[in-house]
Amino acid sequence: MIVCIDIGNTNIVLACFENQKIVKTYRIATKGFSAQKLSFLENEKFEKVFIASVVPSINSKIVDFFKKRTPVVKLFSVEDALSLMPSDYKEHSNLGIDRIINSIYAYDKYKEGLIVVDLGTATTFDVVSKKGVYEGGAITFGIKTAMETLFYNTEKLKLIDFKNLGEISVIGKTTKECLKSGIVLGYAGLVDGLIQKIKKQKKEAKIVVACGGLATTIKPFTIAIDYVEENLTLYGLKLLGEKINEA
């Protein structure tokens, strides 16, 4: 069994692969993380562990935990990922590895110029040329991040339950309906608007792939997203590990 671990700003997501399929996933809050939270895996046996992280402060805790239990533990760097995809980006030292991993897997699957939209703590837009070159993109606030900022800075507004959105009218008749309209439809408009501007500048970006925790929730309210790949980063991380091992 191969384990792929995506260490994000909000959650650490672990996926257990058998052959090319995810058979189990686990989600652990990043905030307050300690190795004790991995204790449920103490008796598991793994062939390899592949890790990608945008939270350097907890990397050693996870690497040390798995090094005691499996012979191959690889924490990938941005440079590792860029060995599989040429890049026109000018600042690799601050580039999130998840953005490159997403781009590698999406391009490997679709073989076309594309845009990857990752709806997480932040929302990122990444552009890959028809020839498979990483072009860069855009970063904005995540929809939950924006909503929580609004909630914590007001007294009467309440958080939206994204799991039970129901129908949304542009013109809300209650405060809750107004919030759903403004936050969900407004955010979908932001996503569509940025994609439209990117496509205008990069006409070969034909396909739009969304991933991240809220991709499935947001897609029905957009017009620009073509496909949702919920576990894009995890599949991309496995692909990265396999290709680097082969090299």
* 98: annotated active-site residue: yes
Contact at 8 Å (CB) between 217 and 223? no
Handedness of CA 203, 209, 211, 216 (dihedral sign): positive
Separation of alpha carbons 142 and 100, rounded Å: 19
Name the DSSP letter for residue 140: E
Contact at 8 Å (CB) between 159 and 180? no
- To which H or E segment does residue 117 belong? strand 114-119
Catalytic residue among 98, 108, 126, 226: 98
Contact at 8 Å (CB) between 28 and 12? yes
Catalytic residues: 98
